[in-house]
Amino acid sequence: MKIQSQAAIEIKASPEKVFDFATNLENLPKVFKGYGVIPAICKAEIAGGGEMQQGVTRCVTNSDGSIIDEEIITLKRPTKQTYRLVKGFKPPFSFLVKSGGGDWTFTPTPNAANSTFLTWEFYFELTSPLAYPIMAFIMSSYFQKAQQLCLNEIKKNLETP
């Protein structure tokens, strides 16, 4: 059983610029600050070193002490980033969630030069149908807000001189 959320924003910058900023490992702690029970990102790096590319594992250290391994499934500049969370959840999330994933789509805004519409779709695969009511509350009350705040931070970083 899956539960999903989505956030979107228009950013006055080219898809290439937005993609490069949003997928840069150094920028993740700057923009994903968490919200409520959703921890902030403290650090992101590629397992074993190397560049961000399709097929690598991105290790994300969070403010709750968890280290989440994310498999980069698609990294297609400047249009798409898809990843899957494969391990590292700490209790209480580990009791509710067995995996998750996200899909970032970067689309040129029609009729607006040098502007990008950024959409972030996210899902959690639940450990049991019994986890659904709890995760539905967490997704609607906290996670979706954390997503939107993250996109707002990307916009602020790219649009503020």
Q: What is the pLDDT of residues 70-115, one digit of tens each?
A: 999 999 999 999 999 999 999 889 999 999 999 999 999 987 789 9
pLDDT tens across 22-79, in order? 999 999 999 999 999 999 999 999 999 999 999 999 999 999 999 999 999 999 999 9
The reported pLDDT for the residue numbered 131 is 97
Specify the 3-state DSSP secondary structure of 135.
helix
Rounded distance, CA 154 to CA 32, Å? 9
Q: What are phi and psi of 157, to 5 degrees?
A: -65, -35
Instruction: State the Cα–Cα distance between residues 152 and 101, nearest whole angstrom.
Output: 20
In whole angstroms, what is the distance from residue 29 CA to residue 74 CA?
Answer: 21
CATH homologous superfamily of 2-159 equals START domain (3.30.530.20)
Query: Angle at Cα 108 formed by Cα 6 and Cα 14, nearest 5°?
Result: 105
